[in-house]
């Protein structure tokens, strides 16, 4: 088997490997026996580290995937007769195979449009209006993605306004934070500023895309929502028996601050890539670069040429809207090589 490193790609931040801090923590946790099902010391430390990072007395639970975390979080808010309001591009709407509907037992996902994958007050308000009779599902949760599916971020003030509007209408707020660290690093704010201080009731804090081997943390700022969560996690097959191996990487990246330095690095690589793409004929960004993704329309021939050169990435919007994600380990050299290949392909084909 070859041990040569694999080429950096721009397909997704979950194509990257495990960051060194997390890998060392796995090694360290792998000594002898520990109590199973989360009653071990690493799990307690991870939960405490998350509470400290947010300066909140939150209830914290670890699960394997973001899809499960989102669906379980929404199921902690919604009954089967309720509805979730989210952006039409939201992961919970288009990338979870009906997981939220399934885990809530039938809650309806109601979508809104909005520029750059962001929910606006104007779009949210009419969607959240209660129908007042039994023919329609009752909006009960607002789900916001931070950073968004188009690599943009909500400012603390934007989040606060949306959360206030939700709470006024008796909706709870769920934040899909698969790339929460990228948003914090981008805004230069405290984690709490775009979480409970902005009004979030439950946050899914992403680890996988930020260098963990696997795992997301559910952070219940509204502790009442966590009622029976442990049983619902078990029922969903998301209770890890060897929980210490989910938890130890969290301890390592949180206690060292690596979760934010890795995210800042990924963001910086996206900025570098955006800078390299500026001025290439036929290339146009279709979202501002505020986190670790660059979204650009490319000439179709250039897409084919890049793929023929071994680059992997997704066409995300229509036939030419491409997504380029940077990760904790994306190198400046890879960004520059990719941009040079793109420039050459575009100059040849435009
Ligand atoms: C990746 C991602 C998730 C989590 O996906 P899983 O593959 O289930 O871990 C959730 N939300 C967003 C916005 C994502 O990009």
Do residues 152 and 246 share a domain? yes
> Which SS3 state, helix, strand or coil, does residue 221 take?
coil
Query: Is 5 inside any structural domain?
Result: no
Q: How many residues does the chain have?
A: 350
Q: How far is the CA of 134 from the centre of ligand 1 (A)?
A: 33
Contact 83, 89 (CB under 8 A): no
pLDDT at 333: 97
Last residue of a domain, one of 212, 229, 257: 257
Residues 43, 112, single domain; the answer is yes
Q: 147 CA distance to ligand 1 centroid (A)?
A: 11
Q: Is residue 1 part of a domain?
A: no
Encode 42-54 in three state secondary structure: HHHHHHHHHHHHH
**Quick one: which atom of ligand 1 is closest to the CA of 65?**
9
Residues 158 and 277 reside in one and the same domain: no
Residues 192 and 285 occupy one common structural domain: no
Q: Quick check: is 179 in a domain?
A: yes
Whether residue 6 is contained in a domain is answered as no
Q: Which domain holds residue 331?
A: 259-349
Residues 40 and 161 occupy one common structural domain: yes
C-alpha span between 109 and 93 (Å, rounded): 7
Q: Which residue, 242, 257, 272, sits at the end of a domain?
A: 257
Instruction: Tell me the CB-side half-sphere exposure of residue 196, using CA atoms within 13 A.
Output: 18
* 182/303 same-domain check: no
Cβ contacts of 305 within 8 Å, gap of 6 or more: 341, 345, 348, 349
Q: What is the pLDDT along the chain (350 residues), one digit of tens a residue?
A: 678 889 999 999 999 999 999 999 999 999 999 999 999 999 999 999 999 999 999 999 999 999 999 999 999 999 999 999 999 999 999 999 999 999 999 999 999 999 999 999 999 999 999 777 899 999 999 999 999 999 999 999 999 999 999 999 999 999 999 999 999 999 999 999 999 999 999 999 999 999 999 999 999 999 999 999 999 999 999 999 999 999 999 999 999 999 999 999 999 999 999 999 998 999 999 999 999 999 999 999 999 999 999 999 999 999 999 999 999 999 999 999 999 999 999 998 75
From 174, 175, 206, give the residue whose CB has the most ligand 1 atoms within 8 Å, as the site to mutate.
Answer: 206
Select from 327, 244, 259, 320 the least CA-distant residue to 286: 320
Domain of 324: which CATH number? Answer: 3.90.1150.10
pTM recorded for the entire structure: 0.97
Atom of ligand 1 nearest to the CA of 149: 13
Is 332 found in the same domain as 223?
no
Same domain, 163 and 194: yes
Q: 103 and 212 share a domain?
A: yes
Identify the residue whose C-alpha is closest to ligand 1 atom 14.
178
Which of 65, 87, 95 is the pocket-test mutation for ligand 1 (most atoms within 8 Å of CB)? Answer: 95
Taking Cα atoms as reference points, which of 285, 270, 242 lies closest to residue 332?
A: 270
The two tokens of residue 64 are 């394997």
What's the total number of domains in the chain?
A: 2
Q: How far is the CA of 67 from the centre of ligand 1 (A)?
A: 6
Write the burial class of residue 116 (CB in 10 Å: 0-12 exposed, 13-18 middle, 19+ buried).
middle
| Residues 142 and 221 both lie in one domain | yes
């Amino acid at each position: 088997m070859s041990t040569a490193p694999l080429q950096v790609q721009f397909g997704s931040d979950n194509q990257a490997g495990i960051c060194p801090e997390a890998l060392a923590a796995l090694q360290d946790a792998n000594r002898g026996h520990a109590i199973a099902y989360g009653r071990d010391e690493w799990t307690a430390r991870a939960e405490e580290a998350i509470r400290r990072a947010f300066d909140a007395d939150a209830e914290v639970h670890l699960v394997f995937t973001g899809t499960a975390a989102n669906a379980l979080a929404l199921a902690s808010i919604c009954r089967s007769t309720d509805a979730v309001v989210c952006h039409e591009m939201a992961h919970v709407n288009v990338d979870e195979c009906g997981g939220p509907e399934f885990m809530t037992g039938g809650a309806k996902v109601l979508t809104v449009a909005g520029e750059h994958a962001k929910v606006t007050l104007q779009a949210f308000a009419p969607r959240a209006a209660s129908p007042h009779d039994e023919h329609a599902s009752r909006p009960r949760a607002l789900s916001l993605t931070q950073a968004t599916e188009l690599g943009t971020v909500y400012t603390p003030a934007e989040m606060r306004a949306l959360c206030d509007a939700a709470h006024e209408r008796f909706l709870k707020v769920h934040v899909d934070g698969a790339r929460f660290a990228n948003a914090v690093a981008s805004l230069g704010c405290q984690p709490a500023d775009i979480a409970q201080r902005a009004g979030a009731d439950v946050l899914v804090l992403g680890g996988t895309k930020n260098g963990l081997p696997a795992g997301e943390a559910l952070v219940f700022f509204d502790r009442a929502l966590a009622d029976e969560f442990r049983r619902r996690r078990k029922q969903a097959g998301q209770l890890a028996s060897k929980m210490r191996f989910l938890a130890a990487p969290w301890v390592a990246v949180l206690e060292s601050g690596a979760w934010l330095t890795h995210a800042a690095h990924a963001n910086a690589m996206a900025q570098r890539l955006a800078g390299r793409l500026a001025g290439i004929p036929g290339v146009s960004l279709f979202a501002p670069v505020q986190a670790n993704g660059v979204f650009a329309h490319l000439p179709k021939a250039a897409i084919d040429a890049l793929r023929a050169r071994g680059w992997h990435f997704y066409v995300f919007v229509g036939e030419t809207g491409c997504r380029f994600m940077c990760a904790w380990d994306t190198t400046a050299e890879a960004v520059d090589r990719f941009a040079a290949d793109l420039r050459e392909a575009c100059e040849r084909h435009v």
